[in-house]
C-alpha cells in the first residue's frame, strides 16, 4: 500500500506531498515538530507530546494550525491510512507561507504536515540487546534547544560524525565538559550505587517526553534519580549509560568515544527500565 501524508487539510499520496517553496519552515527553519511512537496499535504518550508542542508553538508565537482537539484525530487517521501498528507518527507545524522576510508575516496561516511510517520492534529490541555507541562533540547549538525546532543542522552534522566514527549517537558537551544531550535523545548514566542521573531540563536541553515517563518508570522500580550534570569522564566510569527518546525508549550505551562502558555490554537496570516502560506510558488508541 502507498504511504499517505496529511498536508494542510488534505490526505495525499506521500510521493505527492509538497509544501510551497516560500513556506517559512523551508526558508528559515521557522517551525516545530513532534514525534510519537506507535506501539501495538497505540500512540504512546500523545497528550504529553501535544503539551510540549503547545509550549514550542507558544515560545515561537506560532498559532495552532488546527484546534488542539482535532490534531489527535488527524494523527490517528494518518496512522490508520498507513496501516502502522508499530512505528512512529511525525507532525510538523511552521509559521506558514509568505514572501521571504525575516519578520513575522501578518495573517499567515500555519502549515501542518503529518506523516507515519512503520518500524520493526524486533529490530529495536535486538539493538538494545547489544547496545549502541556514542561519541562526544562540542556544543554548538543555539541557546533555545528547549524548543523542539526544525532547525536541526548542528544535530545533523553531529550524527553524521557519529556515523562516520561507527557510532549511533553523538552527545553535545558544554564548555565545562558536562554532557548536555544527544543529537536526538536525552543522556543518562547509572552510578555504581544504582542511582539514575540525568541533566536538569529547565534550561539547555529538551525536556524529553520519554525522559519524563522514565521518571515514573523509575519510581515504579524503586530507583532513585538525581537531576544534575555529569561529565564525560563520569559517564565512562559509570555502572551503566543509556539514552532515551520516543524512538529508542531506553537504549543502552556500551561505548563512549571508543572506550567501553563497564564490561561493554548492556546493563540490567537499563533493560529493566525498557521492559517496564509500556506498563507506565500512556497509550492512546491509534
Residues annotated catalytic, as ranges: 148
Say whether 132 sits in a helix, a strand or coil: strand
Closest Cα partner for 5 from 87, 86, 92, 85? 92
The 3-state DSSP composition of the chain as helix, strand, coil percent (nearest 5) reads: 30, 30, 40
| Pairs from 56-59 (Cβ < 8 Å, separation ≥ 24) | 56/32, 56/147, 56/148, 56/149, 57/32, 57/93, 59/144, 59/146, 59/147
**Which DSSP helix (H) or strand (E) runs through 52?**
helix 46-59
Our CA angle for 275, 266, 268, nearest 5°, is 50
CA distance 123 to 120: 5
CA distance 28 to 103: 11
Residues 6+ apart with CB under 8 A from 274: 128, 249, 250, 251
CA distance 101 to 283: 41
CB atoms within 10 A of CB 81: 16
**Which DSSP helix (H) or strand (E) runs through 133?**
strand 132-138
Residues 6+ apart with CB under 8 A from 281: 44, 45, 213
Amino acid at each position: 500500500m502507498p504511504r499517505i501524508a496529511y498536508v494542510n487539510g488534505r490526505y495525499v499520496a506521500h510521493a505527492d506531498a509538497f509544501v510551497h517553496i516560500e513556506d517559512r519552515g523551508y526558508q528559515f527553519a521557522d517551525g516545530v515538530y513532534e514525534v510519537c511512537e506507535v506501539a501495538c496499535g497505540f500512540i504512546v504518550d500523545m497528550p504529553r507530546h501535544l503539551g510540549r508542542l503547545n509550549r514550542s508553538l507558544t515560545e515561537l508565537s506560532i498559532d495552532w494550525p488546527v484546534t488542539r482537539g482535532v490534531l489527535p484525530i488527524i494523527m490517528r487517521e494518518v496512522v490508520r491510512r498507513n496501516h502502522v501498528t508499530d512505528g512512529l507518527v511525525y507532525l510538523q507545524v511552521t509559521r506558514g507561507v509568505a514572501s521571504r522576510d525575516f519578520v513575522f508575516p501578518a495573517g499567515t496561516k500555519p502549515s501542518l504536515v503529518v506523516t507515519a511510517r512503520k518500524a520493526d520492534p524486533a529490530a529495536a529490541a535486538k539493538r538494545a540487546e547489544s547496545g549502541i555507541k556514542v561519541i562526544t562533540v562540542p556544543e554548538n547549538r543555539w541557546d533555545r534547544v528547549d524548543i523542539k525546532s526544525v532547525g536541526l543542522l548542528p544535530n545533523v552534522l553531529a550524527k553524521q560524525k557519529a556515523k562516520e566514527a561507527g557510532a549511533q549517537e553523538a552527545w553535545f558537551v558544554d564548555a565545562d565538559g558536562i554532557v548536555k544531550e544527544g543529537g536526538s535523545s536525552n543522556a543518562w548514566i547509572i552510578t555504581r550505587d544504582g542511582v539514575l542521573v540525568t541533566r536538569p531540563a529547565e534550561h539547555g536541553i529538551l525536556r524529553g517526553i520519554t525522559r519524563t515517563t522514565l521518571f515514573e518508570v523509575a519510581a515504579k522500580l524503586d530507583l532513585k534519580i538525581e537531576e544534575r550534570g555529569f561529565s564525560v569522564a563520569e559517564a565512562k566510569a559509570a555502572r551503566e549509560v543509556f539514552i532515551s527518546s520516543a524512538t529508542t525508549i531506553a537504549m543502552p550505551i556500551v561505548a563512549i568515544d571508543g572506550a567501553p562502558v563497564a564490561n561493554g555490554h548492556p546493563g540490567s537496570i537499563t533493560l529493566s527500565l525498557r521492559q517496564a516502560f509500556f506498563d507506565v506510558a500512556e497509550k492512546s488508541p491509534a
